[in-house]
Amino acid sequence: MGTKKFSVQTYRRFNYPVIEFKKRILDDKNNSLKINPGGQDEYEKGVNSTSIDIHKIECDSNRFCYLRELTSTISVELIPEWVNKDDFGKKISNILFDEESPEDTLRLNVRIWCPEINYVIDTISIDLEYINQGKPIVFKQIDLADSIGKLEINSSLVRIKGSSKHEFNRTSSKLSVIADNSDIVFYIDAIERIGGNFLNIVPTDLKKHLWGFNNDFPFGIQIPELLYHKDLEEYFNNGDDYNSVKILMLMIGPIYCDKILRWILFGNPDFENPQHKAVIGFIGDLSDTKESAFIAIADDSDENKARKYLELSDIIFKNIQVYNVNWKDFLTKIIKSEKK
C-alpha cells in the first residue's frame, strides 16, 4: 500500500527587512532621551539586523539608566525609510499580481507591545507613500506602569486587499505578510537577575565552592552579599525555569535571610537608604516585623537584641517555607514525578 506525501506550499515574500527606522524616545516632559548604543543626534538610524536592542538610555555623562528610572511615560517617534527602494521595486512584481500596485495593495503595519504580558499597546497602519517622507510615526504617552520588562516594536508589510486570482507561489489573501522588518526592543527595567534589584546575590569565582558570603562579619553598613559560583549565572538568573535552582534557593535562603536579620539588629544599616529600606522591608515581611520595631530593637541592650534575634530568626525560618511558594507542595510534586 502506497503512502501519500504532503507538502506545504509557501508564497513568495521578502525574507529580509525592506523598511528601517530612525527613532527617538521622549520622556514625560517631552525631552529627547539619548539612546545607547549610539552617538548619533536625536534620531538614531535603524540597522538591518535580526533585532535592534536598545538596552539603556544615557541619563548623565557617567552612567546609563533604564527607562523606568527616568520617566513614567514615553513617546516613541519612528521615521520609516526604505532599506533599498530600487531593489524593492524590482522584486515586488514577482510577489504581487500583474495588475496590482504596491501603493494600492500594501500597507506598513507597526505595533508596540509588551511581550511579557502579551499586551498590545497600539498599532498604526500607514500608506507606502508615507515612507521616505521624513514624517514620524508617533506612539504617544505610553504609560510604563502598564508594562513589564521590555517593549517591542514590530513592523510588517501586509496586503490590505485580497485577489480573486490564484497563481503558484503568490498569495492572494488579505492580511498576508509580504515582509517582516527588524524588531526594536526597549528595556524598561534592568535585565532580570536572581535576588531582584535589592538583594545582593552575586556571581563570582568560588573555585570548588557553590556558595559564599561577603560583608557578613563583622556587620557594618554594607548589606551582606550571598555569593554563588559564576558558572551558574545563566541558570540562576532564569531560576524560575529550573526546579533545581528553586530547591537550592530554598536551602540557602534561610541562612542568607538570617545573616541579613543579624545585620539589621547588630550592624549599621541606614534606615533612610532606599536599598537598605527595601531589604529591611523584605525581612520585615518574613519576620512579621515593622521597620519601626527594627529601629527600636537595634537601639535596645545587647541582651534584649540577642533574645529578639532568636525569636525573629525562628519566625523567618517558618515563614520562608511558605513565602511566594508553598515549598511542601512544590517538593512533593517534584519527588512524585521523579519516583519510578
Residues 182 and 207 in one domain: no
Residues 223 and 160 in one domain: no
Residues 48 and 138 in one domain: yes
Nearest to 246 by CA among 157, 314, 137, 334: 334
In a domain, 13, yes or no: no
- Given 152, 187, 222, which residue is the final one in a domain? 187
Q: Does the pLDDT of residue 34 top 70, yes or no?
A: yes
- Given 139, 165, 187, which residue is the final one in a domain? 187
Residues 206 and 295 in one domain: yes
Residues 64 and 205 in one domain: no
Residues 31 and 144 in one domain: yes
Residues 225 and 310 in one domain: yes
What integer is the mean pLDDT of 55-69?
63
Helix, strand, coil tally for the chain in percent (to 5): 30, 25, 40
- Rounded CA separation 250/224 (Å): 18
Q: Considering the entire predicted model, what is its pTM?
A: 0.53
Residues 105 and 175 in one domain: yes
In a domain, 273, yes or no: yes
In a domain, 2, yes or no: no
Count of domains in the chain? Answer: 2
Domain holding 133, by residue range, is 19-187
- Given 160, 187, 214, which residue is the final one in a domain? 187
What pLDDT does 198 receive? 67
- Rounded CA separation 41/52 (Å): 17
89 touches 80 (CB < 8 A): no
Q: Could you read off the pLDDT of 103-130 as tens digits, one per residue?
A: 989 999 999 999 888 889 999 999 999 9
Residues 80 and 162 in one domain: yes
Residues 175 and 301 in one domain: no
Pairing of strands 106-114, 150-159: antiparallel
Residues 161 and 236 in one domain: no
What pLDDT does 31 receive? 85
152 touches 112 (CB < 8 A): yes
- Rounded CA separation 152/51 (Å): 10
Residues 267 and 141 in one domain: no
